[in-house]
Structure 1
Amino acid sequence: MRPSGSDLRLLQVFDAVVRHGGFSAAEGELNLSQSTISNHMAALEDRLGVVLCRRGRGGFQLTEDGRAVHEAATRLHGALHDFSADVGAVQGKISGELRIGILDAVADDEATRLPEVLAEFHETAGDVKVLLAQEAAQDLQQKVRDGTYHCGIGVDISPVDGLDAFPLHTETHSLYCGRTHPLFNLPADDIGRAALLELPFVKRGYWCTEKSRQNVFRNVAATVLQIEPQLLLIRSGHYVGYLPDHYAERWCIKGELRRFELAEFMYSAQFYLFTARDNRNSGVITTLINSVKSVWQKP
């Protein structure tokens, strides 16, 4: 299939439908009626020869083919923006789109310098459209590698070939419990290591074996893939688990969380700027990398 202009429009409709989770929910963004969206989707399915989604009483649901087509369409969308940036570079302009993936629960970390980076980047490349998206830790590196994002700021979950990693800052994590947990008001001297290891524990589903803390705790009672769900489970009072100290601090001040100040139950996570090694460094990417290195290396 060689996409034409009309094909690109159909793919844009498809992308909006996927992002909004249905035809009616996408009406506002597309400024099209539900029946027109349905006709566009039928035309795209006919063009591709596959069923992209199921719609009915059970609601909107992507098929496996639909999921694969949407991923390909996302890469195509990124490639078109990159083409625009390349043409702008020929004209002596820094333009196009910059796509950055970041992890959740990082905005209140004083160690992150991303706001300063974005400010410096805007001074140099104010015409560039910035897409800043929250991404799951387990997916961030691969999505930088496949071009979904131009770069990512996160932790090194597992090795991904073809990425460069520039070290940024470290994030400290400690063990916490909620206000209604049985250990919340217990004196520190009365809390032993053995007792902690038997408590219902919230693990991070993306931890690699060598980095995993759930191997220490014998009673893994819940699993999360992001920080905010972990906070909710810990605040329920039924679990202990790790949280970034900067993220948990305000909840400790409010009396909703207790931090266990035991060195063996603390660890540090190194944050990196990830970029694809074999990508041609466009003006947009080069400007962003220079801004990151300039800002993060300042005192």
Structure 2
Amino acid sequence: MQVQDTDLKLLRIFDTIVRCGGFAAAQPVLNVGASSISEYMSQLETRLGLRLCERGRAGFRLTEEGAELHAAAQRLLGAVDSFHLEAGALRNQLSGVLRFGMIEATLTDQHSPLPVAIREFGQMAPEVRLHVQIETPGSMEQHVLDGRLHLAVGPFPAQIPGLDYLPLYREEQGLYCASTHPLFERAGTHVPVSALSNQRLAARAYLGSQEVKLLRMTQAAASVDNVEGRAMLILSGNYIGFLPPHYARPWVEGGLLHRIDPEHYVTHLEFQIITRKGGEPTRVVQAFCKQLRAAAIDANRARRGGE
């Protein structure tokens, strides 16, 4: 079909509904009522000749065609947003929608350059609207590749062709156990790796093999993509696992978690900026990357000064 302005509007509404998880949750985001959202979806389905989702008492669920169309719509909307960014740059104006990906659980990190970079960029380019998505590293790589995201920041241990990786900053990771775990009482002393090899490890899905090798285990007992899920498993007392100290601090101060032998079991995640390889990034993307790098340099200087 020929894509028109009304189609783009309907696809953006559809994308919002999917990201919110249903019609009801999308109402405050779209600032329209349920009947209007239902009418928009009916228009899009009629235009396409497809049933995109099931809605009713059983809840909201995408059909197989709906899931495929949503992925295609995200690629299309990302391309449209890139066009607007480039068009604005030709007028020497930083404007449009910048689609930016990041991982969760970074806000409590005082060394993260993200809050400062976003503040400085917002003051420099007030006409640019940030569209922030919280995703796993693997999803961000795929979405930068297919154009759904303009850039992303996170740890990407297995670099893939088609993307440029720019080092940004490091995040410390410590090994933790809960107060109900057998290792809790001796966690502050030296704990030999032989005492860890038979423990149950909640590993990061994208770093599982590295953590298993470090602790000389045969396999992880659980694999979790996000920090909150891993923290929950560790707090249960059944698992040990790596967490960023800034994230674990409230539970450590409350006596619920203890860091295991921090002198010997410490790793770092290397955070990087990723953009799609080939062709020069838009001026907006370049400007945001510049702010990220400047903020990272300042944060690193402040950290060294405090050591």
TM-score (norm 1): 0.89
Q: Which amino acid aligns with 1:213?
A: V
Cα contact 1:145–1:276 (8 A) shared by 2: yes
CA contact (8 A) 2:190 2:261 kept: no
2:54 counterpart letter in structure 1: R
Distance change in 2, residues 1:28/1:168 (3 Å):
closer
**Paired AA for residue 221 in structure 1:** A
SS of residue paired to 1:213? helix
User: 1:250 Cα shift?
Assistant: 3.2
Q: Which amino acid aligns with 1:171?
A: E
1:275 is aligned to 275
Give 1:72's aligned residue.
Answer: 72
* Residue 140 of structure 1: how far off its partner (Å): 1.6
Q: Distance in 1 between matches of 2:190 and 2:291?
A: 49
SS at match of 1:261: coil
Q: Percent identity?
A: 36
Q: What is the correspondence of 1:39-188 to structure 2 with a 5 Å cutoff?
A: 39-186=39-186
Residue 203 of structure 2 is matched in structure 1 by 203
2:28 and 2:121 mapped to 1: Cα distance? 32
Q: Structure 1 unaligned segments of length 5 or more: list them.
A: none
CA distance in 2, matches of 1:189, 1:273: 37
- Show CA shifts across 1:76-108 (max 9, x none): 222222222222222221111222211111112
Cα RMSD over matched residues?
2.4
Q: How many residues are matched?
A: 298
SS in 1 for 2:65: helix
User: Cα deviations across residues 132-166 of structure 1 (Å, max 9, x unaligned)?
Assistant: 32211221222222222211111113222121111
CA displacement at 1:59 relative to structure 2: 1.7
The equivalent of 1:237 in structure 2 is: 237
Report the Cα offset of residue 9 of structure 1: 2.6
Comparing 156-165 with 218-227, which one deviates more in the overlay? 218-227
Residue 212 of structure 2 aligns to which amino acid in structure 1? Answer: R
Query: Unpaired runs of 5+ in structure 2?
Result: 302-307
Residue 118 of structure 1, CA deviation:
1.9
* Aligned-partner residue type, residue 83 of structure 1: F
Secondary structure of 1:126's counterpart equals coil
Offset, 1:231 = 0.8
Task: Describe the shift of the 1:255–1:206 C-alpha distance in structure 2 as closer, same or farther (beyond 3 A).
Answer: same
More divergent stretch after superposition (34-43 vs 219-228)? 34-43
Deviation at 1:42, TM superposition (A): 2.9
Displacement of 1:284 after TM fit? 0.5
Deviations 1:229-269 (A, max 9, x none): 11111111121111112222332222111111155532221
Task: State how far apart, in whole Å, the 1-side matches of 2:226 and 2:15 are.
Answer: 25
